[in-house]
Amino acid sequence: MALFNTIPKATKSLRVLARLLGYPDAELRADLADMRAALHEEKALPPQRLAELDALIDTLARKEALEIEAAYVELFDRGRATSLHLFEHVHGDSRDRGPAMIDLAQTYGKAGMYLAEGEMPDFLPVVLEFTSTQPPREAREFLAEMAHIFNAIFAALQQRGSAYACVLGALLELAGEKASPVEIAAEEAIDAVWQEPVVFDGCSSKGQSKPDQPQPIHIVRKPRPSQGAQA
């Protein structure tokens, strides 16, 4: 049997991966449960990778909105190594980037996909949306052409200890490449999360008696308010 005849359909998975790489606004967070269900229903990815994606989804659902939004901006919008604009990794700021953008946009147009105003054709979520519309063989070949870029971003995310690395690992596997597992951070025990801190545990004893010795207590009497003259 030919290899390409065994390629699983990954339409839903590619769309979920595209969403996970988007800005984690309220609309995205509201869809997390459906996104998880789609990944597990399609089963285009191995169990280990699905477990990693589940952990990322749990993190996005659990943490405060401002925290995950700020972390996303810091991770993807500040620095070329983790940029989700693919031509940043290929052309940088050279003049070749413009023609490459036009060619990619024309590829989308030939397939009947047109960009909304302000969308960049090399933005990875946009690339994945397009890829999800292609037959399995063409989708894998298209992803394989970009595997070296995925590897670069994957390595940068791994170096930063980011849970988003599992999304790039999933893309590499859908491209027919091998990607190392992503370590899933252990959740802190619920008892530890809610445990009350020891009273005054963080107070410094500098300038005082030794910690195992009685501490002097100084009482300062609060002055009484002046009283009016008695009749």
- What 123-130 contacts at long range (C-beta under 8 Å, 24+ apart), as own/partner pairs, is 123/84, 123/85, 123/86, 124/18, 124/21, 124/84, 124/85, 124/86, 125/18, 125/19, 125/21, 125/22, 125/84, 126/18, 127/86, 128/14, 128/15, 128/17, 128/18, 128/21, 128/171, 129/14, 129/15, 129/18
pLDDT band at 184 (very low <50, low <70, confident <90, very high): low
Other C-beta atoms lying within 10 Å of the C-beta of residue 85: 19
Percent of the chain topping pLDDT 90:
60
pLDDT at 3 over 60: no
Does residue 101 sit in helix, strand or coil? helix
pLDDT band at 135 (very low <50, low <70, confident <90, very high): very high
| 12 or 94, higher pLDDT | 12
Mean pLDDT to the nearest integer, 25-31: 97
pLDDT band at 90 (very low <50, low <70, confident <90, very high): confident
pLDDT digits (tens, 9 = 90+) for 145-183: 999 999 999 999 999 999 999 999 999 999 999 888 887
